[in-house]
Structure 1
Amino acid sequence: MAMTLEYTIELDHRVWIPVPLEFPWNGYPDPAAWASDLATSLMTGIDAPAEVRDALESSALAMAAVEPPLPGALERFWHLPVEGGPERLVHLYVTETDARAAEELAELARAGVGGYVQTITVLEGTSFDVAIRAVVLTELPDRRLSVLRVVGVVGGYVFVVELIEEQTAVLEELEPVVEALFRSLRVRVGGDERPRSEPEGAWS
């Protein structure tokens, strides 16, 4: 009997906005239609010049055009807090895994980016059997990247919420809200008769 996976995210819409990975999506034929509607919705009831709405629409279009840093992303979220703050995209990846222990998750934290693990913290009180928060540093020819990954395993699946950032101060600022996003995940793994899909992306 194969295993099926269901999950939900209790998204705080004061902080995060879902950004489609492809179109058509949820009735929107293309990024332009989605960005226009999103900007109008976010500006409803706010007394601001039209230029503010136009800038928000342009930002939404730019976010929708971003290619995921690794293949296999299932969802992504735009950090756009009502009270202001750095605007960044985080991605959610899910795939099957044999990992069970925190030490194995530390290796998954480096998957696809290399580098070395700078910090690792075991997280308690999540929906997962084991979960960690890790910061990985990786060197590129022209710059250094900091990668924040919150990783959890349950029922043979690994969930990864990822933020890739050039500015260390921004990563440190967003670490609590990215962890809170991860903690909002609710996961259910059950059995059915459908065949399991093959793992995809950098996590297999």
Structure 2
Amino acid sequence: MDMTEYGYRLIADPATWVPVPREFPFGEWVDADAWLADVPSRLAAGVTDAGEIAEWYRRTASAVLDVPAPHAGVQETFWYLPLDRLETTLAHLSVVPRAVIGEATLEDIATTGAETVMAPRIERIPSRVFGEAVRALETLPARIDDADGGTGVGILGVARLAAESHGAIFLIEVIDPSLDRIALMLDDLLGLLDSIRIGTIDELERDPASPV
């Protein structure tokens, strides 16, 4: 089946993910000021010490809004914000027609192709929606600026999930300097991938939560 005949919806778990606008208008928000005025207050609602937490949400929401997409093909970005932790990591979703990618395998797509500090860890994992997905974990060398104005060498962790359906490749990517944080996210990243629904526009409008 050709994705030109189909569309997709990603219905992320609101207890874990906050959609981050890539452009405005976005949903009910006409611009960045409207989003920043509304979303942090919603996130802090019902939280103990909500004033202090709301201020953290405001500062962090402004920061995540300014994070550029890692590449031009990103369609959607999600702020990882589980209820039990205050996090700032972003996950990015790209959707590319198989015809554009050619014969590359999901393993090829799930890896960055960049020089790595350690050998990538690549595995096929079950997916409730796609049947199977490929997960790749990589460590990339990175330049780190220190507080004294100097630079050092550090690492960036990269986690990617690649899956295919209806003639399209779906890729979710996380880049973070904390490998421990990425490890804690892995189940939630698979949950994010499995929240994708594919169907005709009519089907998605009738029941966006029902997988095809």
TM range (shorter): 0.7 to 0.9
Aligned residue among 182, 186, 208 for 1:175? 186
Deviations 1:25-49 (A, max 9, x none): 2232322220110122222333425
- Please name the residue that 1:119 is paired with: 121
CA RMSD of aligned residues (A): 2.6
State the AA in 2 paired with 1:173.
Answer: L
Q: Secondary structure at the match of 1:12?
A: coil
Instruction: Normalising by structure 1, report the TM-score.
Output: 0.80
State the AA in 2 paired with 1:158.
Answer: I
In structure 2, C-alpha distance between the alignment counterparts of 1:184 and 1:28, rounded to whole Å: 23
In structure 2, C-alpha distance between the alignment counterparts of 1:13 and 1:49, rounded to whole Å: 18
Q: C-alpha displacement at 1:50, in angstroms?
A: 2.6
Q: Are 1:115 and 1:136, in contact at CA under 8 Å, matched by a contact in 2?
A: no
State the AA in 1 paired with 2:5.
Answer: T
Q: Secondary structure at the match of 1:123?
A: strand
State the AA in 2 paired with 1:139.
Answer: P
Change beyond 3 A, Cα 1:110–1:40: same
Deviations 1:136-191 (A, max 9, x none): 2322353322210010011221000110111211111111111111122122379x
Between stretches 87-96 and 29-38, larger displacement belongs to 29-38
- Please name the residue that 1:57 is paired with: 58
Change beyond 3 A, Cα 1:170–1:47: closer
Q: Are 2:157 and 2:175, in contact at CA under 8 Å, matched by a contact in 1?
A: yes
Residue correspondence of structure 1 range 151-190 to structure 2 within 5 A = 151-188=162-199
Runs of 4+ in 1 over 3 A off after TM superposition: 98-101
State the AA in 2 paired with 1:115.
Answer: E
Q: Secondary structure at the match of 1:14?
A: coil
Deviations 1:38-72 (A, max 9, x none): 12222233342533322211211111111011112
In structure 1, C-alpha distance between the alignment counterparts of 2:70 and 2:106, rounded to whole Å: 19
Q: Which runs of 5+ in 2 are unaligned?
A: 144-152, 202-212
Q: Which runs of 5+ in 1 are unaligned?
A: 191-204
Between stretches 24-33 and 10-19, larger displacement belongs to 24-33
Between stretches 92-101 and 64-73, larger displacement belongs to 92-101
Instruction: Normalising by structure 2, report the TM-score.
Output: 0.77
- Please name the residue that 1:128 is paired with: 130
In structure 2, C-alpha distance between the alignment counterparts of 1:56 and 1:175, rounded to whole Å: 23
Aligned residue among 146, 150, 158 for 1:147? 158
In structure 2, C-alpha distance between the alignment counterparts of 1:107 and 1:172, rounded to whole Å: 21
Change beyond 3 A, Cα 1:104–1:24: same
Change beyond 3 A, Cα 1:133–1:12: same
State the AA in 2 paired with 1:109.
Answer: A
Q: Are 1:132 and 1:150, in contact at CA under 8 Å, matched by a contact in 2?
A: yes
Q: Secondary structure at the match of 1:133?
A: strand
